[in-house]
Structure 1
């Protein structure tokens, strides 16, 4: 086939319609008119000679051929982005783009500090932070949409062979109480005292809640005996509820630094118990790693890692080494 039956713009439109669920919302997200989107889809279907959307329902539904094209189209668009970043690196090592992923807690409280430190040294690098669930973040790293990520949950089993998953740091989970709670006057409390408290927690189906429950169980705390009086959908909401006297909670120590400094929450130690979870660094060794990502890995990651963290695991050759070698070989040949 001499000419491809689709263009990159048509693949972008197809991806937008699938994500937004309608031609109109896709057009809005791409800043083009709805007739322009419809025309591109019609041209694409005519060129491929297959229908890509089932137009019978209110929501734009992909046909089997549409799903197949979308699957390959996403890979093509990701590879195009990698190509642009690789060329950008060759042209200007001080510029480029860094895309970092994180699960909810690390993305809200840890990654902004790390990115701030990186930006001080590399102000010309465009930095993107994608904060999603552990599962979605892991898939983004696997698909090459994110350079690397720091997560607190477990990588999906189907991705563990394709991703490097490295213990990165320990995150302490603190028991927080209202400053006027009777236990706040004590130096420590006993493990059994936990069962007398009313707790505020995240939704039982959330990844963070499951991780916290697993960690507490490993510390011989029976989570079934904890009185969960309220479930909220964010760490910030939980902190505000505890501050208002509605109960106690376990949250990441990194999430309450400001509140402890302002003395609006009390962190109460449990005698003989230190509740910690592992934060994991994940990246795809088979994807191109930009110069910006290499600089972030070498200069920022070690500063927030657990002492003794093995930085050598990050020394994975970029996927485009052969391309760069070919460019260098051509340059040497020209000079000769």
Structure 2
């Protein structure tokens, strides 16, 4: 059994399709089929059931998938270790970030990192805070960056920055709130999905601004910051988002900020306690850490 056979098996298992796996691996369909057949013949086990053009894992295949994924992760760690012997000049870093961090805060830091380390590839995936924590805990990425608090026994969480949540609405609705014609308690609220850091900040803000409706479901729940802001700009309701995210809408006049002081929201770097961190990963993580005296004071005050 080779790592290449394992890589092919996992690709087919995750997609349940030989042709799609072959395309993702830049191999021919016959090469992928041959690798699977050789693996099954060598160990006298059937790993896939053929269902028309698709395939599905057998019970043996389902059991083997977890082991194969773990072996591939171990191989990747070994590869990182060897690459580290050559320093930070080459290699790859896999990072996952929640939407606010990944779309608005992280790109400039990746650009600075790439300028200093042009030979290192950075692979970024974006999800909500819960999804990023799962990826970090599984060892599938080098580290995660989130704007929500995460409690997980296998993860370290280090505060690296913060942002300011703001309450925003379309100009007409903002004017009604400011004149007293519409109270925050009676307004419709638009929110991100459960599991996102922005949703956690939203719920915290409601407890401060309108505690009587803090436990009520939002009028509209959407899966991205952009969708939330577009809906709010169209008059669907009021929301709480990061100032980083709302800035273009506020500058253009599409949204207005409503009064109300909200606590700052910390950004955290998540690392696995037992996963080896390569030099390129540590270098990118260092680029993300605070360097100013102000941030050091904030970290000290929050106990992070």
TM over 0.5: yes
Cα distance in structure 2, aligned partners of 1:274 and 1:268: 11
Structure-1 residue corresponding to 2:231: 241
Gap runs ≥5 in structure 2: none
| Distance change in 2, residues 1:227/1:43 (3 Å) | closer
1:288 aligns with 2:280: no
The SS at the match of 1:256 is helix
Is this contact kept in 2: 1:11–1:70, CA < 8 A? no
Kindly state the Cα deviation for residue 218 of structure 1 after the two structures are TM-superposed: 4.5
| Distance change in 2, residues 1:80/1:110 (3 Å) | same
The SS at the match of 1:198 is coil
Mean CA deviation greater in 56-65 or 242-251 = 56-65
1:174 aligns with 2:166: yes
| Distance change in 2, residues 1:59/1:221 (3 Å) | farther
| Distance change in 2, residues 1:107/1:141 (3 Å) | same
1:183 aligns with 2:178: no
Is this contact kept in 2: 1:197–1:226, CA < 8 A? no
Structure-1 residue corresponding to 2:191: 201
With CA pairs under 8 Å and 6+ residues apart, which has the higher RCO, 1 or 2?
2
Cα distance in structure 1, aligned partners of 2:86 and 2:265: 41
Show the 5 A alignment for 1:251-290: 251-270=241-260, 273-290=261-278
Structure-1 residue corresponding to 2:61: 66
TM-score by length of 2: 0.84
Structure-2 residue corresponding to 1:164: 156
| Distance change in 2, residues 1:139/1:208 (3 Å) | closer
The SS at the match of 1:196 is coil
Cα distance in structure 1, aligned partners of 2:112 and 2:257: 28
Show the 5 A alignment for 1:61-140: 61-140=56-135
**Structure with bigger gyration radius:** 1
Kindly state the Cα deviation for residue 49 of structure 1 after the two structures are TM-superposed: 0.9
Kindly state the Cα deviation for residue 176 of structure 1 after the two structures are TM-superposed: 0.8
Structure-2 residue corresponding to 1:211: 200
Cα distance in structure 2, aligned partners of 1:286 and 1:57: 42
Cα distance in structure 2, aligned partners of 1:306 and 1:226: 35
| Distance change in 2, residues 1:212/1:127 (3 Å) | same
Q: Structure 1, residues 160-199: CA drift from partner, whole Å, max 9, x if none?
A: 222112344333221111234453895xx89x93123232
Cα distance in structure 1, aligned partners of 2:154 and 2:214: 36
| Distance change in 2, residues 1:251/1:213 (3 Å) | closer
TM-score by length of 1: 0.77
Cα distance in structure 2, aligned partners of 1:232 and 1:139: 21
Kindly state the Cα deviation for residue 46 of structure 1 after the two structures are TM-superposed: 0.8
Kindly state the Cα deviation for residue 148 of structure 1 after the two structures are TM-superposed: 1.6
Cα distance in structure 1, aligned partners of 2:94 and 2:217: 40
Kindly state the Cα deviation for residue 102 of structure 1 after the two structures are TM-superposed: 0.9
Gap runs ≥5 in structure 1: 1-5, 315-336
Report the number of matched residues. Answer: 298
